Amino acid sequence: MVARFGVFLLAGRFPGQDDGAALRRSVDAASCAEAAGFDDVWIAEHHFMPYGVCPSAITFAAHVLGRTGAIAVGTAVSVLSTAHPVALAEQAALLDQVSGGRFRLGVGRGGPWVDLEVFGTGLDRYERGFGESLDLLLAALAGPTVTASGEHFAFREVPIVPAPLSVPHTPVVVACTSSATVELAAARGLPMLLGMHISDQEKVAMVRHYARAATAAGRDPAAVEHVSAVLAHVADDREQAVRELRAAMPGWLAAGLTAHTPVDGRPGPTRDPVAYTDLLCSLHPVGSPELCVARLRESAERTGIDHVIMMVEGSGSRDRTLATIARLGAQVLPALRD
């Protein structure tokens, strides 16, 4: 049974919207999620594209923490390949302290995009340096001091101020889309965040691969609570829910996919936005409240993952987003918690 529920916010700019409208929709969605009884809110980070107009998930998380009073708020994810791990650890420790332990940190490798060129971190750190970056982040969060003498980072010992409040009780979550990243997370005993672009069967395969790698590294895979992202949209029936998403998502996805600019000569994403919308609707809780309950329950039973975060902004509409969150809170979550 699903034990923990979150809302996953991308702050996507849909056709006809401006950046402010997208950001305000996500802020309102976070407040609505707290009122609806969700356990946490997770913020995505993207650069230079309308797919998500939040370039700093940790900054957005700070704002949401200030707007809410009890719900946990996390990053899904902060892109570690374009950030300095110690600077990110300092920001995480700061939010951990001022929020009374409500902040959660999720990190990811990111992609081979022009971000690496703009921020000066380079393709090599993305491809080979993620493990070093992750270890330095964890060392800084563990404190009380940190030093480095690696390939990508080298500096004298410095104190970590402020000291984190909750670490290591709330481990860093790692977005995993490849076997290599799964193995890095497993070796460190860190939970995975698995995306909504893959099926339950693929998530099962990644959980099994994680278990093998964790066991080989002397870690207990059963002690780790992974997180699964899904698309969620509630309407009176499935036909209406799919119709509302098909009216909005392809235009948003088309603009977002073409905005991915590789830092080298490799091709960018080539998904058909209509087919991708249909795939997501077929995989996830999209439909009536009863269908959403059944889909979420079946997915938890298949994957063994009992922490689910729901991308609820697929309609592109503030009112429909808030209505979906409210109906999930009133008509879906109670059935699953029971």
Number of structural domains in the chain? 1
Angle, CA 49 vertex, CA 43 and CA 55 arms, to 5°: 40
Predicted pLDDT at 1: 60
Contacts of residue 251, Cβ cutoff 8 Å, sequence gap at least 6: 14, 15, 273
Could you tell me if 86 and 139 are in contact, meaning their C-beta atoms sit under 8 angstroms apart?
no
With bands split at pLDDT 50, 70 and 90, how would you rate the model's confidence at 145? Answer: very high
pLDDT over 90 at 312, yes or no: yes
Mean pLDDT in residue range 113-130: 97
Mean pLDDT in residue range 48-67: 98
Q: How far apart are CA 12 and CA 17, in angstroms?
A: 9
pLDDT over 70 at 2, yes or no: no
Locate 230 and state its tokens. Answer: 């899904």
Per residue in 220-278, pLDDT (tens digit) is 999 999 999 999 999 999 999 999 999 999 999 999 988 999 999 898 888 999 999 99
How far are the Cα atoms of 205, 234, 296 from residue 231, in angstroms, in the given order? 20, 10, 11
pTM across the whole model:
0.97
291: domain CATH number? 3.20.20.30
Q: How far apart are CA 157 and CA 207, in angstroms?
A: 37
Predicted pLDDT at 118: 98
Locate 324 and state its tokens. Answer: 């979906």
Q: How far apart are CA 172 and CA 27, in angstroms?
A: 23
Question: What value does the mean pLDDT of the chain take?
Answer: 96
Q: How far apart are CA 48 and CA 113, in angstroms?
A: 10
Query: Which residues span the domain enclosing 321?
Result: 4-337
Predicted pLDDT at 168: 62
Per residue in 58-77, pLDDT (tens digit) is 999 999 999 999 999 999 99
Could you tell me if 224 and 187 are in contact, meaning their C-beta atoms sit under 8 angstroms apart?
no
Per residue in 276-308, pLDDT (tens digit) is 999 999 999 999 999 999 999 999 999 999 999
How far are the Cα atoms of 83, 127, 137, 175, 267 from residue 124, in angstroms, in the given order? 14, 5, 18, 19, 18
